[in-house]
Amino acid sequence: MESRPRMTWEGICAAYPGEYVILDDLVIDPVRRRVSEGRVLAHAPTRREAFAAAPRAEVGAERALKFTGPLRIPPGFVGLFGAE
């Protein structure tokens, strides 16, 4: 498999709009606590397809599964944000 360059989150969203992406070589923004950069290993319209397309992870590998589209919050959903 060819090695892909690390991309910014904004670049990933532009390249793979509305898709699930599996990332490695992660950079986490310490203030926002979100992925700010990563290398796309696989992408697909569904989580299942993204996992199927991703290469097998080694033990201890850090990866992230992210959705590049808008959040889809079900009607009536109640959640707590920022609770630790």
Is 70 exceeded by the pLDDT of residue 65?
A: yes
The pLDDT confidence band at residue 79, using thresholds 50, 70 and 90, is: confident
* C-alpha–C-alpha distance, residues 37 and 66, integer Å: 12
Where is pLDDT greater, at 73 or 23? 23
pLDDT in tens, 8-22: 999 999 999 999 999
Q: pTM to 2 decimals?
A: 0.79
- Torsion sign across C-alpha atoms 7, 5, 19, 26: negative
* C-alpha–C-alpha distance, residues 39 and 14, integer Å: 14
